[in-house]
Protein backbone atom coordinates (compact mmCIF):
# COMPACT_ATOMS: atom_id res chain seq x y z
CA UNK A 1 0.00 0.00 0.00
CA UNK A 2 1.43 3.38 -1.07
CA UNK A 3 0.90 6.38 1.20
CA UNK A 4 1.57 10.00 0.37
CA UNK A 5 2.73 11.83 3.49
CA UNK A 6 2.64 15.62 3.20
CA UNK A 7 4.90 17.34 5.72
CA UNK A 8 6.63 14.00 6.23
CA UNK A 9 10.06 15.53 6.87
CA UNK A 10 8.77 17.45 9.93
CA UNK A 11 8.65 16.42 13.56
CA UNK A 12 5.55 14.20 13.74
CA UNK A 13 5.75 13.35 10.03
CA UNK A 14 9.26 11.85 10.21
CA UNK A 15 8.36 9.64 13.19
CA UNK A 16 5.20 8.51 11.40
CA UNK A 17 7.13 7.73 8.21
CA UNK A 18 9.42 5.53 10.32
CA UNK A 19 6.43 3.66 11.80
CA UNK A 20 4.81 3.27 8.37
CA UNK A 21 8.02 1.81 6.88
CA UNK A 22 8.38 -0.55 9.83
CA UNK A 23 4.83 -1.73 9.09
CA UNK A 24 5.69 -2.39 5.42
CA UNK A 25 3.90 0.56 3.85
CA UNK A 26 5.51 2.33 0.87
CA UNK A 27 5.94 6.01 1.57
CA UNK A 28 6.18 9.10 -0.59
CA UNK A 29 7.04 12.27 1.33
CA UNK A 30 5.90 15.61 -0.09
CA UNK A 31 7.37 18.55 1.84
CA UNK A 32 8.52 22.06 0.95
CA UNK A 33 11.12 21.91 3.77
CA UNK A 34 9.91 25.27 5.12
CA UNK A 35 10.19 23.88 8.65
CA UNK A 36 12.21 20.71 8.18
CA UNK A 37 15.55 19.31 7.14
CA UNK A 38 15.94 16.52 4.59
CA UNK A 39 18.38 14.91 7.02
CA UNK A 40 15.33 13.64 8.98
CA UNK A 41 14.36 11.48 6.01
CA UNK A 42 17.93 10.22 5.52
CA UNK A 43 18.01 9.16 9.15
CA UNK A 44 14.62 7.45 8.90
CA UNK A 45 15.98 5.51 5.92
CA UNK A 46 19.05 4.50 7.95
CA UNK A 47 16.99 3.45 10.95
CA UNK A 48 14.56 1.35 8.91
CA UNK A 49 16.87 0.16 6.11
CA UNK A 50 14.10 1.21 3.68
CA UNK A 51 13.81 3.87 1.00
CA UNK A 52 11.45 6.82 0.93
CA UNK A 53 10.46 8.62 -2.29
CA UNK A 54 10.98 12.30 -1.48
CA UNK A 55 9.49 15.17 -3.46
CA UNK A 56 10.28 18.74 -2.54
CA UNK A 57 7.01 20.51 -3.18
CA UNK A 58 4.42 22.85 -1.76
CA UNK A 59 0.79 21.88 -1.16
CA UNK A 60 -0.15 25.26 -2.62
CA UNK A 61 1.45 24.23 -5.92
CA UNK A 62 -1.25 22.26 -7.74
CA UNK A 63 0.89 21.53 -10.80
CA UNK A 64 3.55 19.71 -8.77
CA UNK A 65 0.91 17.87 -6.75
CA UNK A 66 -0.76 16.77 -9.98
CA UNK A 67 2.57 15.49 -11.30
CA UNK A 68 3.06 13.41 -8.15
CA UNK A 69 -0.42 11.89 -8.37
CA UNK A 70 0.17 11.04 -12.05
CA UNK A 71 3.54 9.40 -11.37
CA UNK A 72 2.56 7.28 -8.36
CA UNK A 73 -0.49 5.13 -7.68
CA UNK A 74 -1.43 6.49 -4.27
CA UNK A 75 -3.79 4.60 -1.96
CA UNK A 76 -4.08 7.07 0.90
CA UNK A 77 -2.84 10.46 2.05
CA UNK A 78 -1.64 11.43 5.53
CA UNK A 79 -1.66 15.20 5.67
CA UNK A 80 0.75 16.84 8.15
CA UNK A 81 1.90 19.81 6.05
CA UNK A 82 0.96 23.02 7.85
CA UNK A 83 2.38 26.03 9.59
CA UNK A 84 1.95 25.56 13.33
CA UNK A 85 3.22 28.57 15.30
CA UNK A 86 0.15 29.71 17.21
CA UNK A 87 1.54 33.17 18.11
CA UNK A 88 2.79 33.88 14.59
CA UNK A 89 -0.61 32.91 13.19
CA UNK A 90 -2.15 35.92 14.99
CA UNK A 91 0.27 38.34 13.35
CA UNK A 92 0.20 36.65 9.92
CA UNK A 93 -3.33 35.23 9.69
CA UNK A 94 -3.55 35.31 5.89
CA UNK A 95 -0.30 33.37 5.55
CA UNK A 96 -1.75 30.69 7.83
CA UNK A 97 -5.08 30.51 6.02
CA UNK A 98 -3.28 30.41 2.64
CA UNK A 99 -0.87 27.71 3.64
CA UNK A 100 -3.05 25.54 5.86
CA UNK A 101 -6.56 25.97 4.47
CA UNK A 102 -5.95 26.81 0.82
CA UNK A 103 -3.10 24.26 0.67
CA UNK A 104 -5.37 21.53 2.05
CA UNK A 105 -8.18 22.39 -0.39
CA UNK A 106 -5.68 22.14 -3.25
CA UNK A 107 -4.53 18.75 -2.06
CA UNK A 108 -8.12 17.51 -1.73
CA UNK A 109 -8.96 18.75 -5.23
CA UNK A 110 -6.04 16.84 -6.72
CA UNK A 111 -6.99 13.75 -4.70
CA UNK A 112 -10.56 13.92 -6.05
CA UNK A 113 -9.28 14.34 -9.61
CA UNK A 114 -7.22 11.16 -9.22
CA UNK A 115 -9.94 9.30 -7.32
CA UNK A 116 -7.86 8.94 -4.17
CA UNK A 117 -10.38 8.91 -1.35
CA UNK A 118 -8.63 7.95 1.90
CA UNK A 119 -7.42 10.90 3.95
CA UNK A 120 -5.88 11.18 7.42
CA UNK A 121 -5.70 14.68 8.79
CA UNK A 122 -3.47 16.16 11.53
CA UNK A 123 -6.04 17.91 13.65
CA UNK A 124 -5.54 19.19 17.15
CA UNK A 125 -7.09 19.41 20.61
CA UNK A 126 -7.29 23.13 19.91
CA UNK A 127 -10.49 22.50 17.89
CA UNK A 128 -12.38 21.99 21.16
CA UNK A 129 -11.74 25.62 22.14
CA UNK A 130 -12.28 26.95 25.63
CA UNK A 131 -16.04 26.30 25.75
CA UNK A 132 -16.02 22.53 26.20
CA UNK A 133 -15.48 20.89 29.58
CA UNK A 134 -12.54 18.56 30.14
CA UNK A 135 -11.77 15.80 29.38
CA UNK A 136 -12.52 16.49 25.72
CA UNK A 137 -14.64 13.94 23.88
CA UNK A 138 -15.15 13.58 20.14
CA UNK A 139 -18.93 14.04 20.49
CA UNK A 140 -18.42 17.64 21.68
CA UNK A 141 -19.09 20.47 19.24
CA UNK A 142 -16.10 22.25 17.73
CA UNK A 143 -15.23 25.31 19.79
CA UNK A 144 -14.30 28.87 18.99
CA UNK A 145 -10.61 28.62 18.10
CA UNK A 146 -8.45 31.17 19.92
CA UNK A 147 -6.00 31.72 17.01
CA UNK A 148 -5.95 31.67 13.21
CA UNK A 149 -3.88 28.47 13.50
CA UNK A 150 -6.65 26.81 15.53
CA UNK A 151 -9.30 28.23 13.21
CA UNK A 152 -7.49 26.68 10.23
CA UNK A 153 -7.92 23.23 11.83
CA UNK A 154 -11.62 23.88 12.55
CA UNK A 155 -12.19 25.08 8.97
CA UNK A 156 -10.49 22.02 7.49
CA UNK A 157 -12.48 19.62 9.68
CA UNK A 158 -15.63 21.36 8.44
CA UNK A 159 -14.48 21.21 4.80
CA UNK A 160 -13.82 17.48 5.16
CA UNK A 161 -17.39 16.94 6.43
CA UNK A 162 -18.82 18.90 3.52
CA UNK A 163 -16.68 16.99 1.03
CA UNK A 164 -17.80 13.66 2.50
CA UNK A 165 -21.40 14.83 2.28
CA UNK A 166 -20.97 15.64 -1.39
CA UNK A 167 -18.86 12.63 -2.32
CA UNK A 168 -19.90 9.28 -0.90
CA UNK A 169 -16.54 7.66 -1.67
CA UNK A 170 -14.49 10.10 0.39
CA UNK A 171 -13.26 8.81 3.77
CA UNK A 172 -11.43 10.97 6.28
CA UNK A 173 -10.01 10.42 9.73
CA UNK A 174 -9.28 13.51 11.82
CA UNK A 175 -6.70 12.70 14.44
CA UNK A 176 -6.91 15.29 17.20
CA UNK A 177 -3.48 15.34 18.80
CA UNK A 178 -3.00 16.49 22.37
CA UNK A 179 0.61 17.48 23.23
CA UNK A 180 3.17 15.37 21.35
CA UNK A 181 6.67 15.36 22.86
CA UNK A 182 9.70 13.05 22.90
CA UNK A 183 11.74 11.55 20.12
CA UNK A 184 12.52 8.17 18.60
CA UNK A 185 14.35 6.01 21.14
CA UNK A 186 17.50 5.98 18.95
CA UNK A 187 17.98 9.72 19.56
CA UNK A 188 18.58 10.08 15.81
CA UNK A 189 15.36 11.91 14.94
CA UNK A 190 13.44 14.43 17.03
CA UNK A 191 11.95 17.89 17.17
CA UNK A 192 14.19 20.56 15.63
CA UNK A 193 12.45 23.94 15.88
CA UNK A 194 13.86 26.84 13.92
CA UNK A 195 14.69 29.87 16.14
CA UNK A 196 13.25 30.26 19.62
CA UNK A 197 11.01 27.29 20.46
CA UNK A 198 7.33 28.09 21.06
CA UNK A 199 6.59 24.81 22.78
CA UNK A 200 7.52 23.74 26.27
CA UNK A 201 9.61 20.61 25.73
CA UNK A 202 11.98 21.88 23.05
CA UNK A 203 12.53 24.96 25.21
CA UNK A 204 13.29 22.90 28.33
CA UNK A 205 15.64 20.66 26.32
CA UNK A 206 17.51 23.66 24.90
CA UNK A 207 17.96 25.10 28.41
CA UNK A 208 19.32 21.74 29.58
CA UNK A 209 21.82 21.58 26.73
CA UNK A 210 23.01 25.15 27.47
CA UNK A 211 21.53 26.78 24.37
CA UNK A 212 19.13 28.98 26.38
CA UNK A 213 19.58 30.43 29.86
CA UNK A 214 16.31 29.95 31.67
CA UNK A 215 12.78 28.74 30.99
CA UNK A 216 9.88 31.12 31.47
CA UNK A 217 6.96 29.35 33.10
CA UNK A 218 3.90 31.15 31.77
CA UNK A 219 1.63 31.67 34.78
CA UNK A 220 1.65 30.15 38.28
CA UNK A 221 -1.74 31.43 39.37
CA UNK A 222 -4.03 29.03 37.49
CA UNK A 223 -6.62 27.05 39.42
CA UNK A 224 -4.62 23.84 38.97
CA UNK A 225 -2.85 21.67 41.56
CA UNK A 226 0.41 23.64 41.52
CA UNK A 227 -0.82 26.81 39.75
CA UNK A 228 0.82 26.03 36.38
CA UNK A 229 -0.99 24.85 33.25
CA UNK A 230 -1.76 21.17 32.75
CA UNK A 231 -1.64 19.33 29.43
CA UNK A 232 -1.98 15.78 28.11
CA UNK A 233 1.56 15.04 26.83
CA UNK A 234 2.00 11.96 24.66
CA UNK A 235 5.09 10.31 23.17
CA UNK A 236 5.58 11.11 19.48
CA UNK A 237 6.16 7.40 18.74
CA UNK A 238 2.77 6.56 20.29
CA UNK A 239 1.30 9.29 18.11
CA UNK A 240 3.11 7.91 15.05
CA UNK A 241 1.68 4.47 15.75
CA UNK A 242 -1.77 6.06 16.02
CA UNK A 243 -1.47 6.96 12.33
CA UNK A 244 -0.61 3.38 11.42
CA UNK A 245 -3.69 2.26 13.38
CA UNK A 246 -5.82 4.78 11.49
CA UNK A 247 -4.58 3.55 8.10
CA UNK A 248 -5.25 -0.04 9.13
CA UNK A 249 -8.70 0.93 10.40
CA UNK A 250 -9.61 2.49 7.03
CA UNK A 251 -8.27 -0.59 5.25
CA UNK A 252 -10.27 -2.96 7.43
CA UNK A 253 -13.49 -0.93 7.35
CA UNK A 254 -13.98 -0.87 3.61
CA UNK A 255 -17.67 0.03 3.97
CA UNK A 256 -16.94 3.14 6.03
CA UNK A 257 -17.46 6.50 4.34
CA UNK A 258 -17.62 9.93 5.89
CA UNK A 259 -15.46 11.57 8.53
CA UNK A 260 -14.49 10.15 11.89
CA UNK A 261 -12.54 12.05 14.57
CA UNK A 262 -10.32 10.44 17.20
CA UNK A 263 -8.51 11.99 20.15
CA UNK A 264 -4.91 10.86 20.44
CA UNK A 265 -3.77 11.49 24.01
CA UNK A 266 -3.05 9.58 27.22
CA UNK A 267 -6.11 10.73 29.15
CA UNK A 268 -3.88 12.22 31.86
CA UNK A 269 -2.83 15.83 32.42
CA UNK A 270 0.45 16.96 33.96
CA UNK A 271 1.67 20.41 34.91
CA UNK A 272 4.58 22.52 33.67
CA UNK A 273 6.35 22.08 37.02
CA UNK A 274 5.89 18.30 36.85
CA UNK A 275 7.45 18.37 33.37
CA UNK A 276 10.45 20.34 34.64
CA UNK A 277 10.89 17.91 37.51
CA UNK A 278 10.66 14.85 35.22
CA UNK A 279 13.13 16.38 32.77
CA UNK A 280 15.59 17.10 35.59
CA UNK A 281 15.50 13.41 36.49
CA UNK A 282 16.20 12.44 32.88
CA UNK A 283 19.11 14.83 32.32
CA UNK A 284 20.42 14.70 35.89
CA UNK A 285 20.74 18.46 36.20
CA UNK A 286 18.70 21.43 37.42
CA UNK A 287 16.66 23.36 34.83
CA UNK A 288 16.83 27.09 35.60
CA UNK A 289 13.34 28.59 35.35
CA UNK A 290 11.39 31.63 36.48
CA UNK A 291 7.72 32.49 36.60
CA UNK A 292 6.43 34.88 33.95
CA UNK A 293 2.94 36.27 33.21
CA UNK A 294 0.34 34.01 31.63
CA UNK A 295 0.69 33.52 27.86
CA UNK A 296 -2.24 34.94 25.88
CA UNK A 297 -4.68 32.25 24.77
CA UNK A 298 -3.45 29.48 27.11
CA UNK A 299 -6.17 27.40 28.74
CA UNK A 300 -5.54 26.28 32.35
CA UNK A 301 -5.87 22.55 31.77
CA UNK A 302 -7.08 20.09 29.15
CA UNK A 303 -6.72 16.43 28.45
CA UNK A 304 -8.25 13.76 26.28
CA UNK A 305 -10.83 11.14 26.77
CA UNK A 306 -8.94 8.62 24.62
CA UNK A 307 -11.47 5.78 24.89
CA UNK A 308 -12.74 6.02 21.33
CA UNK A 309 -9.31 5.51 19.75
CA UNK A 310 -8.75 2.63 22.12
CA UNK A 311 -12.05 0.91 21.34
CA UNK A 312 -12.22 1.52 17.60
CA UNK A 313 -8.63 1.87 16.42
CA UNK A 314 -7.21 -0.51 19.02
CA UNK A 315 -4.70 2.23 19.87
CA UNK A 316 -3.42 3.29 23.28
CA UNK A 317 -0.49 5.47 24.34
CA UNK A 318 1.94 3.12 26.10
CA UNK A 319 5.06 5.20 26.80
CA UNK A 320 5.24 6.97 30.16
CA UNK A 321 6.47 10.43 31.06
CA UNK A 322 9.98 9.34 32.09
CA UNK A 323 10.41 7.64 28.71
CA UNK A 324 9.21 10.84 26.97
CA UNK A 325 11.82 12.84 28.91
CA UNK A 326 14.65 10.34 28.45
CA UNK A 327 14.06 10.17 24.69
CA UNK A 328 13.83 13.97 24.37
CA UNK A 329 17.10 14.30 26.25
CA UNK A 330 18.84 11.62 24.16
CA UNK A 331 17.85 13.42 20.96
CA UNK A 332 18.80 16.88 22.30
CA UNK A 333 22.14 15.86 23.85
CA UNK A 334 23.17 13.84 20.77
CA UNK A 335 22.12 16.71 18.47
CA UNK A 336 22.59 19.96 20.44
CA UNK A 337 22.26 22.06 17.28
CA UNK A 338 19.47 19.93 15.79
CA UNK A 339 19.97 18.47 12.32
CA UNK A 340 23.16 19.60 10.55
CA UNK A 341 22.53 22.18 7.82
Which listed range, 82-90, 109-117, 222-230, 263-271, lies at the site for ligand NAD (CB under 6 A)?
Answer: 82-90
Nearest to 98 by CA among 66, 131, 58: 58
DSSP 126: G
- By the rule CB under 6 A, 60 interacts with ligand NAD: yes
Q: How far is the CB of 3 from ligand NAD (least distance, A)?
A: 15
Question: How many CA atoms, within 13 angstroms, populate the side-chain half-sphere of residue 41?
Answer: 21
Q: Which of 30, 149, 222, 233 is catalytic?
A: 149
- Environment class of 312 (CB within 10 Å of its CB; exposed 0-12, middle 13-18, buried 19+): middle
Nearest to 215 by CA among 232, 228, 226, 201: 201
- By the rule CB under 6 A, 298 interacts with ligand UDP: yes
- By the rule CB under 6 A, 78 interacts with ligand NAD: no
Nearest to 273 by CA among 336, 221, 198: 221
Q: Which residue is nearest to ligand UDP (CB)?
A: 229
149: annotated active-site residue: yes
- By the rule CB under 6 A, 216 interacts with ligand UDP: yes
Show contacts with ligand UDP in window 182-201 (CB under 6 A). 198-200
C-alpha distances (whole Å) from 72 to each of 31, 183, 200 are 16, 30, 39
Per DSSP, what are the bridge partners of residue 263? 176
Q: Which does 267 bind (CB under 5 to 8 A by kind): ligand NAD, ligand UDP, none?
A: none
Q: How far is the CB of 280 from ligand NAD (least distance, A)?
A: 22
Q: How far is the CB of 236 from ligand NAD (least distance, A)?
A: 8
- By the rule CB under 6 A, 274 interacts with ligand UDP: no
DSSP 130-143: TTSPSSB-TTSPP-
- By the rule CB under 6 A, 238 interacts with ligand NAD: no
Tell which one of 21, 183, 229, 304 touches ligand UDP (CB under 6 A).
Answer: 229
Nearer to ligand UDP, 111 or 207 (CB): 207
- Environment class of 245 (CB within 10 Å of its CB; exposed 0-12, middle 13-18, buried 19+): buried
Indicate the Cα dihedral angle 119, 123, 43, 55, nearest 10°: 50
Which listed range, 27-35, 210-218, 225-233, 294-302, lies at the site for ligand NAD (CB under 6 A)?
Answer: 27-35
- By the rule CB under 6 A, 180 interacts with ligand NAD: yes
Nearest to 211 by CA among 321, 325, 335, 294: 335
Q: Which residue is nearest to ligand NAD (CB)?
A: 10
- By the rule CB under 6 A, 36 interacts with ligand NAD: yes
Residues of 26-46 as b/e, b for ≥16 C-beta within 10 angstroms? bbbbbbbeebbbebbbbbbbe
Please give the residue ranges that form the binding site for ligand NAD (CB under 6 A).
Answer: 6-7, 9-13, 31-36, 58-60, 80-84, 99, 103, 122, 124, 177, 179-180
Interface ranges with ligand UDP (CB under 6 A)? 179, 198-200, 203, 215-218, 229, 231, 272, 295, 298
Indicate which residues carry an active-site annotation: 149
Amino acid sequence: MKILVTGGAGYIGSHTVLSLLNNDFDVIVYDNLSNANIESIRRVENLTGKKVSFIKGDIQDKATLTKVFSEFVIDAVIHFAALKAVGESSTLPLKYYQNNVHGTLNLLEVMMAFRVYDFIFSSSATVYGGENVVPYEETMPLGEASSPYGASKVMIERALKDLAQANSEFRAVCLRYFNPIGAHESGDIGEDPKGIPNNLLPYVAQVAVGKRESLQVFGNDYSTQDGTCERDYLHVMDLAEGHVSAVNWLKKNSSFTGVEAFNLGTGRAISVLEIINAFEQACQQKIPYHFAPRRYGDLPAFWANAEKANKQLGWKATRNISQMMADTWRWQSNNPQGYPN
